[in-house]
Chain A
Amino acid sequence: MSLALRNLYHQKSKVAISIAGVTLSVFLILTMSGLYLGFSTMMDNMVTHSGADLWVTSEGASGSLHSPSLLPLNIRENLSNIEGVDTVSPLIRQPLSTTLKDDTVLLYINGYDTDTGMGGPWSMASGNSDLDAGEIVIDKVLASQYGYDIGDNITIEEKEFKIIGLSDKSYIMIAYIIFLSFDDAKSFLLEGVTNYFLVSVADGFTDEEVSASIVDTITDVSVSTTSETAKAYKDEVIGGFIPVFWMLSGIGYLVGIQIIGVLIHSITMENSKEFGILKAVGATNFDLYRVVAVQAFIISALGFTIGSIVVPVLISIIQTYVPEFVVEIDLQMIMQSSFLGTLTGLLTSILPARRIAQIDPALVFKEV
C-alpha cells in the first residue's frame, strides 16, 4: 500500500497528466449522459407540467409530438360533459418552418388556453408568461441566437408579436418552441381545429375510467395518459439518438481507461527493476500484482472523483455562454460514472500482470 502510493508520488507529473486526461473522459461521459437526460427531462416537462391527466387526439394519432392529430374544436363541450372530466383545454403544438432574419428556422408553435394555463411554458428563464393577444414567449436559445430580447417585437409569417418572456428548456436540438395564446396560434392552423384537448380528471375518478368514457362517448378520438404521452414524446425526439449517446459515453469510458492503462503500464515498466529486487528478496507475483492494483485503483478513483467535481462546474460555466448546451446532470449520474470508471480503471491492473510474472529476479545481480 505505502509502496504503491509512494511510487505514484514519485511520478507526480505523469499522474497529474493522466488525471487531467481522465477528467476529459469524464467530461465526455457526463456530457453525453447529460444531453440525454437534458432532452429526456425536457420532453417530460413538456407533458407533465401541463396539468393534464389525459391527452385526447384524433383516432390513431397517439399523443406524440409529431402526430398529425386534428380535432374539431366543437367537441370541447361534449368532453366537458363527460362524467369525471374536470377541465378541458385545447392545445396547439404544430411545427412551422419559417424565416427569421433571413434564416430558415424550425419553430414549434405552442398555443394554449391562457385561461386554464394548461400546456403553457413549463420553465421560464426570464420575463413572464401571462400572455395576452399579440404577445409571445420565445425560447431563450432562439432569443440569444437571433438577437431577440424581452420587449422586442418578433415577426412570424408576417404577424407581429411582442416578446414578454423567455422560456427555458424549450430547445429541442433542431427546433425552438414559442408560446402563444390559443387564439393567436389558431392562425397557424386551420380554422376550427386543435391538435389536442388536455383533460384533467376530477377527484374520485381514475384516469382509466375517464379515458374509457371519453372513447365511448366521442367517436374518432384516442386518449392517452400523461405518462404514455411523455414516453411517446421521448421515443420520438430522442429515441433515435439513444445509441449515439450510449456509444459516445462508452467511448468516454474507453478513453479514460486507456489513459489509466497506459499510465499503469508505464509505471510498471519503469519499476520493473524494483519489482525484480522485490522478487529477489521474497515478494511473490501476487504481492506485486497487489501493488499494481492499488495503483490502478488510486489513479482511477482520483481521476474519476476529480473529474466528477470539476466537470459539473465546467458544464455550468459553459452553459452560461452557450445556451444550446442543454446538458443536465444529476448526482446519481455522477456517482454512477465515477463508480463505473473506478471499477473499469481497476481492471487495467490486469494488463501488466504478464510482464510482472516475466521479471527475472536474478537480473538484480547483473546490474552494475
Chain B
Amino acid sequence: MSNQDSHSLDLVVELDHVSKVYGHDASRVVALDDTILHVERGEMVVIMGPSGSGKTTLIQIIGALLSPTTGCVKINGTDLGELSGKKLSKLRLRDIGFIFQNPNLLAALTARRNVELVLNLNGIKGDLARETALRLLDRVGLSGRTRHLPAELSGGEQQRVAIARALANSPSLILADEPTANLDSKTGHKIIEMMKDITKTEERTVIIATHDLRIRDVADRVLWLEDGRLSSHWSNGYAIDPVCLMLIGKLTKTTSEVEEDVYHFCSESCMREFTKDPQKYIERSKLGRISH
C-alpha cells in the first residue's frame, strides 16, 4: 500500500480518510470526519480545537487505542488495521510514548520504578533499566526525586515523570493529550519547554492535542480540529479567553463587553479575573491573537 511518496518523506504518522462515529441513531456522534493527516519524522504538530472537537479521539486513533470506523492508519509504515491486539500492545510499548492530561502514574511505585516498569515490559531488566530510568529522570530535572512516590510529588513533577516514562523505550512518536491542562501556567510553560527541547534534540515526532494556545508557539505546524475535520485555518466560531489564553467556542455564556469588543471566557473565574483589570488582559490577548 505504501507509495513511493510517503517513503521519501519518511512519514511516521499517516491517517488517510479516517472517520470515527460513536453510538447509533439518536446518540450518533461523528467525532472525526474523513480526516487526513501526515506527520514527518522529527516534526512537532499541535492540534488545537475547542472542547468536543475530537482531539482526544484523534490521539487515541493514532495511538492504536481506538480503531477508526473507516479509513487507514499507519505508524512508521505499518497499517494498524492489520495488527492483532497483542501486536498493537507491542507497538504502543516500543514505538509510541503517551503523555496524558493526568500524569497517570502507578501510585504504589516510586518515580524511578514508574519509568522502569515500561522498560521491564519491553524486556529491559536489572541495572540497564535502572540506569536508563535514572538518566531519563535526570533529563526531566528530577534526579532528586527518584525515590518519591507519586503522592509525594507536585503535579508538574508527576507530569515530568510521565514524560520520562513516555521516553523510556525511545519511541519514534510521542502523543500528548492536553499535557498542561491540569497545571498552573508557569508549570505548564516548563512542561512545554521541556517537550520542545526533547523534540528538537532527540529528533522525535511529537503530536500534542491541546487548547492551550502557548503550545502553538513551539510547534512546527498547528492544525485546527473543528467538527471532526482538520484544517490549517480556524473558523470564526471560536475565540480566545484573554485570561487563560484557551481556545473556546463563542457560544459560551460567560462574555464581557469592553469598548464594543466582546470577550469570551472559559469559566466564571476567568471572567472575574478579567473584570479586575480588563486592560492588562486585552493587551495580552492581542499579542496572542491568531491571524486567519
Q: Which residue of B lies closest to A276 (CB)?
A: B104
Tell yes or no: B118 within 8 A of A by CB: yes
- 9 tightest A-B CB contacts, nearest first: A282-B93, A282-B92, A6-B108, A10-B108, A284-B89, A277-B104, A362-B65, A7-B108, A365-B56
> Does B94 lie within 8 Å of A282, measured CB to CB?
yes
Of all chain A residues, which has the CB nearest B61?
A: A362
The residue that B93 contacts in the complex, of A2, A3, A9, A283, with Cβ under 8 A, is: A283
Q: In the complex, what residue of chain B is closest to A8 when comparing beta carbons?
A: B108
Instruction: Collect the chain B residues with CB atoms within 8 Å of residue A277's CB.
Output: 104-106
User: What is the bound-complex CA distance between A3 and B91, given in angstroms?
Assistant: 22
Interface residue ranges, B against A (CB under 8 Å): 56, 59-60, 63, 65-66, 85-86, 89-94, 96, 98, 100-102, 104-109, 113, 117-118, 121-122, 165, 169, 177
**9 more CB-based (< 8 A) A-B contacts, given A285-B85, A362-B66:** A3-B108, A10-B107, A280-B63, A280-B98, A280-B104, A282-B91, A282-B92, A282-B94, A365-B100
* Cα-based distance from A7 to B169 in the complex (angstroms): 24
Residues of A within 8 A of B (CB-CB), count: 25
A366 to B65, CA, bound (A): 13
Most chain A CB atoms below 10 A, which of B91, B104, B107: B104
Tell me whether A287 and B121 are in contact in the complex, defined as CB-CB below 8 angstroms, given that A279-B89, A280-B65 are known contacts: yes
Could you list 21 A-B pairs, sorted by A, with CB under 8 Å? A3-B108, A3-B109, A3-B113, A6-B108, A10-B107, A274-B107, A277-B106, A278-B121, A280-B104, A282-B93, A282-B118, A283-B93, A284-B90, A286-B86, A364-B102, A364-B104, A365-B101, A366-B56, A367-B101, A367-B104, A368-B102
Contact partners of B65 in chain A: CB under 8 A? 280, 361-362, 365
A281 lies within 8 A of chain B by Cβ: yes
Task: Assess the B113–A281 pair: CB atoms within 8 A.
Answer: no
Contacts of A6 in B (CB 8 A): 108-109, 113
Chain A residues positioned under 8 Å from B98 (CB to CB): 280-281
C-beta contact mask, A207-234 vs B, less than 8 Å → 1, else 0?
A: 0000000000000000000000000000
Which A residues touch B89, using CB under 8 A? 279, 282-284
Does A364 lie within 8 Å of B100, measured CB to CB? Answer: yes
**Chain B residues, Cβ within 8 Å of A362:** 60, 65-66
Write out the residue numbers on chain B whose beta carbons fall within 8 Å of the beta carbon of A278.
106, 117, 121
CB interface residues, A 277-310, toward B, < 8 Å: 277-287
Q: Which of A282, A361, A364 touches B90 (beta carbons < 8 Å)?
A: A282
Query: Closest chain B residue to A284 by CB distance?
Result: B89
